[in-house]
């Protein structure tokens, strides 16, 4: 149904840890894209931002590394170096660590 695609979707812009590495132009771009869609104009500081970001890195690295193991060997030069290295490292992450990161993700989803 047209117009229903994002129905019920919640969008938030977190500050604090999540702003630490943004350049002024990146901050302006995020604000330009998000602000018209936010229900609230307030920026929220997430007190566990570092924990959430670490969990996201573990999950994306392990999933990315597992999704294309052959590409990591045969198409190294085609990949962005930092992502490639993160995916390679993600292949070595213990399953228990990934499960713990997924619990953090579930906790965060309930929080927001």
Question: Is 112 within 8 Å of 12 (Cβ atoms)?
Answer: yes
pLDDT at position 53 = 83
Does residue 52 register a pLDDT over 70? yes
pLDDT at position 11 = 65
- For β-strands 14-15 and 44-45, DSSP reports them as parallel
pLDDT digits (tens, 9 = 90+) for 97-111: 999 999 998 988 777
Report d(CA 71, CA 111) in Å as an integer. Answer: 36
pLDDT at position 102 = 94
Report d(CA 106, CA 52) in Å as an integer. Answer: 10
Going from N- to C-terminal start, the domains of the chain cover 1-46, 48-112
The C-alpha angle with vertex 63 and arms to 9 and 107, in degrees rounded to 5, equals 45
pLDDT at position 10 = 66
Question: Is 24 within 8 Å of 50 (Cβ atoms)?
Answer: no
């Amino acid at each position: 149904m047209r117009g229903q695609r994002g129905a019920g979707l919640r969008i938030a812009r977190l500050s604090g840890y999540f702003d630490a590495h943004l350049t002024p132009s990146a901050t302006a771009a995020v604000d330009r894209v998000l602000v018209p869609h936010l229900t609230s104009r307030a920026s929220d500081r997430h007190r566990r931002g570092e924990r959430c970001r670490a969990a996201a890195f573990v999950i994306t690295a392990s999933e990315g590394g597992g999704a294309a193991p052959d590409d990591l060997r045969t198409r190294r030069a085609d990949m962005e170096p930092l992502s490639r290295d993160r995916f390679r490292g993600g292949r070595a992450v213990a399953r228990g660590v990934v499960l713990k990161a997924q619990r953090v993700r579930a906790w965060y989803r309930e929080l927001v």
